[in-house]
Amino acid sequence: MAKENPSLNRGEAEKGAASKAARGPGRRLHGAIAHKLGTAILSGQYQPGDTLSGEVAFAEELEVSRSAYREAVQVLTAKGLVESRPKAGTRVLPRTRWNLLDPDVLAWAFAGEPDIQFVRDLFELRAIVEPAAARLAALRRDKDDLKLMKDALAAMRRHTLATEAGRAADRDFHNAILNATRNDALLTLTASIGAAVNWTTQFKQRARALPRNPIPDHVRVYDAIAAGDPVAAAEAMGVLVDLALEDTASAMQR
């Protein structure tokens, strides 16, 4: 797979092709490096306290310039994964300093085999936040919000969760609820976690066919929000999260 890149300017033939193949289509080089290092750290390949073997050494090893490597390190630093000081080198920070809720960090965490404990933590957080979000949505939603939810629900019914379109509709439904809370902080939080957790849905689908028809549960949430009943909305959403947890848990045990 060395010659699918006719116009290479930077590295030599072999190396240039290798680094190009490593990164996806639209991604920049430093983004690819950040992804590489990020997944390595999240997967435990580098332990907290470990030091990344020098700026020049790493740049040479990866066959990229120092600038690209440094920009990648800036990204990791911005997400609290590493810290670099002169003479001391670039060290991996303790896990408590990591921005675990950052979308990229979440993606890196789920790039390899996700840590079971971490998945449980995320579901626990979801079980706390999402019902509360549903409660607020029941209090604050307007007609437009309800229309969005209804449309998403209809789309979910048409395609099932087995298709990509169906899963997109599921995301739309939850996003509509989040929007109805009129709380931006809540929105970004749950959107991040939701995206990460939906990634595990791939596991779920792989494990077995749909374990249960999720539509009625979604309808229950919608009805409660439409009726403006905060307690019922929270409860129905709690059921939804619990079901998702059960499914992923049983899928991951295999």
Binding residues for a copy of itself, rule: CB under 8 A, are: 30, 34, 67, 70-71, 74-75, 77-80, 95-96, 98-104, 118, 121-122, 124-125, 128-129, 132, 136, 183-189, 191-193
Residues 24-53 that bind DNA (CB under 7 A): 26, 28-31, 52
* Binding of DNA by 117 (CB under 7 A): no
Residue closer to DNA by CB (options 56, 128) is 56
Q: How far is the CB of 75 from DNA (least distance, A)?
A: 11
- Report d(CA 188, CA 30) in Å as an integer: 25
| CB nearer DNA, residue 87 or residue 143 | 87
- Considering only residues 51 through 70, tell me which ones interact with DNA, judged by CB under 7 A: 52, 54-56, 64-68, 70
Question: Toward a copy of itself, which CB reaches closer, 108 or 214?
Answer: 108
- How near is the Cβ of 84 to DNA at its closest, in Å? 4
- Give which of a copy of itself, DNA, none residue 201 binds (C-beta under 5 to 8 Å, depending on kind): none
Q: Which does 52 bind (CB under 5 to 8 A by kind): a copy of itself, DNA, none?
A: DNA
> Of 189, 144, 188, 151, nearest to 169 (Cα)?
151
DSSP the chain: --SS-----SS-HHHHHHHHHHS-SS--HHHHHHHHHHHHHHTTSS-TT-EE--HHHHHHHHTS-HHHHHHHHHHHHHTTSEEEETTTEEEEPPGGGS-TTSHHHHHHHTTSS--HHHHHHHHHHHHHHHHHHHHHHHHH--HHHHHHHHHHHHHHHHS-TTSHHHHHHHHHHHHHHHHHTT-HHHHHHHHHHHHHHHHHHHHHHHHSS-SS--HHHHHHHHHHHHHT-HHHHHHHHHHHHHHHHHHHHHHHH-
Per CB under 7 A, contacts with DNA among 183-242 are none
* Complex with DNA: residue 28 or 147, whichever CB lies closer: 28
Q: How far is the CB of 136 from a copy of itself (least distance, A)?
A: 8
Note the residues at the interface with DNA (CB under 7 A): 2, 5, 7-11, 26, 28-31, 52, 54-56, 64-68, 70-71, 73, 84-90
